[in-house]
A and B are shown apart, each in its own frame.
Chain A
Amino acid sequence: MSTLIMIDQPPYGSWSGREALDMAFSLAAFDQPASLLFTGAGVTWLKRAQDTAGIAQKSVERNLSAAPIFGIEAILADRSACQKYGLDESSLITGVTLVDANGALLEQYDHTAFAG
């Protein structure tokens, strides 16, 4: 049973993405295969060099870097959304795989879920 967790909301301003991350980590805790897919404004989670000191929140960039340690299988980002938000390989955090978020991709997972 493989699960794809989709994040289509930007990182700061709502908790929905963090809930998604929590969901993915919980699946990994029980050794359930889980991957994350960032689409739309959600790809801005993956921008390098986020400095959250001024907004008194934890950096999702740093939180996300724990994903491989916890056993999250892949961090995927929608190619066209990345283009739209001006993100290329040099501005993305390491370990992100660019994909086309379409029906064929979702068919590879038993369950796809958004949070929020």
Chain B
Amino acid sequence: MSSFDTLHILNKSPEHPRAAQCLALLSKGDALLLTENGVLLLSAGRLPAVGKVFALSPDVSARGLGNPVGDVTVVEFGDMVSLSLQAQRVISW
């Protein structure tokens, strides 16, 4: 049983063309995990309307984005593994 259809791992800043592609493909039933500069999406205030959003804690903290607003779950490195195991497919953007 998979909890998510596709886990999208996005490590690109919101200005990177791949970020737009990723968000366009994100569907209901998917999960979005923001890492590295991908977490800047949280400050750009552009959280997607569909899918469940996660953000990697050390990257969030490093950029001073602690306690982000909106429907986002902050996770640790170890959670990345279980997230990928919960997904049917993984796309690393």
| In contact, A112 and B90 (Cβ under 8 angstroms) | yes
Interface flags, A94-109, vs B, CB<8A=1, else 0: 0000000001001101
Main secondary structure of the interface of B (DSSP, over half): strand
Using CB atoms, name the residue of chain A closest to B93: A114
| In contact, B27 and A107 (Cβ under 8 angstroms) | no
Among B18, B25, B88, which residue has its beta carbon within 8 angstroms of that of A114?
B18
Interface flags, B1-19, vs A, CB<8A=1, else 0: 0000010000000000110
Within 8 Å CB of B27, what residues of A? 103
Scan residues 65-116 of chain A and give those whose CB is less than 8 A from a CB of chain B: 103, 106-107, 109-114
A8 within 8 A of B: yes
Interface size on A, residues (CB 8 A): 11
How distant is the Cα of A114 from the Cα of B92 in the complex, in angstroms? 6
Main secondary structure of the interface of A (DSSP, over half): mixed
How distant is the Cα of A108 from the Cα of B93 in the complex, in angstroms? 16
| In contact, A106 and B92 (Cβ under 8 angstroms) | no
For residue A92, give the distance in angstroms from its CB to the closest CB of chain B.
23
B91 within 8 A of A: yes
Interface flags, B65-93, vs A, CB<8A=1, else 0: 00000000000000000000000111111
Within 8 Å CB of B88, what residues of A? 110
Task: Knowing that A110-B90, A112-B89, A112-B90 touch, tell me 4 more A-B residue pairs with CB under 8 angstroms.
Answer: A8-B18, A111-B89, A112-B92, A114-B18
